[in-house]
Structure 1
Amino acid sequence: MNASTASRELMLGRIRTANAAAGAGAGNAAEEWAAIPREYRRTSTLGREAVLELLEDRLRDYDAHVLRVASEGVAAAVLGMLGERGRTRMLAAPGVTAAWLPEGFAFAVDDGLSVESIDRFEGVMTESTLAIAETGTIVLQTVPGQGRRAVSLVPDYHLCLVRASAVVATVPEAMDVLATRPAFATTFISGPSATADIEMTRIKGVHGPRFLDVLLVMDDVARSA
């Protein structure tokens, strides 16, 4: 457990203790939560290929560049994308799948770098926990291969590897997966960072990277689906 996760658990533990001391009513929160009607649609009727196409369409609509690649071709695709972008000074989240790192390209690995040091890199490469097709959202957590939140938010460019087998159709499906691993800090990414002022002038890079490339890795599970 890293320092960020430990701090989060300490904070949540204190909140639970305070809530428990606030009154007997707090003890019924779990039962009340479970009793809430959930009649909304939780799954999709789309086939596997249609789900992947929907994710690609949403990501491109958000101005992300998306490329499908076979698992054995990831390293070559990474090298090609970095060449197209002209990126030579890249950071990688610790624990990225070794076979996906191209030979001849030197990635620095985040080992607790300061924000100022992270900002000196031209971009970062991470993996992901899952992706949500309906919203075009990629989900990262503080686990090996994905790294700290600062790693994916500070650099100007993000190259993200998404396993096709980890793509779900709907938000409720994603929440069911994430509910099994609540201890990790979680980041939701829907395209490159962008916002607009009162005059509707679109500005990129305000809350994160201005550029997002996604490699959709067609792993064995996705191929057989």
Structure 2
Amino acid sequence: MSAREEILGRVRSALEGVDRTGTVPPAPRITPVADLVGRFAERVEDYRAVVERCSEADLASRVAAALPAGARVVVPPGLGVEVPGARVDDGLSAAELDALDAVVTEAVVGIAETGTIVLDHGPGQGRRIISLVPDRHVCIVRAAQVVADVPDAIAVLDPARPLTWISGPSATSDIELNRVEGVHGPRVLHVLVVD
């Protein structure tokens, strides 16, 4: 008897006499808070990211203010805001992207409970590499895109699209638990929440 057969046999034995016709109770859900956008902003800040709320009218000026003076910036095709002097990604190589200082993208969804931003790399979001190589990522999230939790996000995401889930600036810890930022992604995350 193989290990697999042995394990499955034990499971079958444990399930003998169990009524399998009943319904499975739904998984417990986190009760949504009244201010999802406020919760989202708090959670994103918990990850050491900068979060600003602004109006659609102020968006272009807030994007410009989030970028260091003289920064070399890349933007994806279809970005919904003008970024003066930015280079539109037309298939830049990793080396070309590494020479740039920042990227500005939009997001497809923001998750309030976890402070996570999700990109599905559609228009305004670009290829995955442009959100990972430059040292600063300025990401635009509209209030209507913020959902309560991960199950709500999964419900609106297309599983056939590539997804990048971002929870704060890139960070890792070495064996002595010393935090190091920017090893495998942007060192700075600046989120603009458009109300």
* Alignment TM-score, normalising by the size of structure 1: 0.73
The match for 2:46 is: 61
Say whether 1:197 aligns with 2:178. no
List per-residue Cα deviations over 1:126-147 (Å, max 9, x = no partner).
Answer: 0000010111100001211001
The match for 1:94 is: 77
Deviation beyond 6 Å, 4+ runs, structure 1: none
Identity among equivalent positions (%) equals: 46
The match for 2:159 is: 182
Structure number having the greater helix percentage: 1
* Alignment TM-score, normalising by the size of structure 2: 0.84
Say whether 1:210 aligns with 2:180. no
The match for 1:109 is: 88
| CA distance in structure 1 between the partners assigned to 2:191 and 2:25 by the alignment | 33
What code does the residue aligned with 2:91 have? G
Shift of 1:110: 0.5
Change (3 A) 1:79 1:36: farther
State how 1:1-225 maps to structure 2 within 5 Å.
37=24, 39-42=26-29, 44-47=31-34, 50-82=35-67, 85-97=68-80, 100-102=81-83, 105-178=84-157, 181-218=158-195
Structure 1 residues without counterparts, runs of 5 or longer: 1-34, 219-225
| CA distance in structure 2 between the partners assigned to 1:62 and 1:72 by the alignment | 27
List per-residue Cα deviations over 1:12-34 (Å, max 9, x = no partner).
Answer: xxxxxxxxxxxxxxxxxxxxxxx
| CA distance in structure 2 between the partners assigned to 1:200 and 1:45 by the alignment | 33
Matched residue pairs, number? 174
What code does the residue aligned with 1:156 have? D
| CA distance in structure 2 between the partners assigned to 1:207 and 1:87 by the alignment | 24
Residue aligned with 1:54, SS:
helix
Structure 2 residues without counterparts, runs of 5 or longer: 1-21
Residue aligned with 2:194, SS:
strand
The match for 2:12 is: none
RMSD between aligned residues: 1.7
Residue aligned with 2:193, SS:
strand
Residue aligned with 1:71, SS:
coil
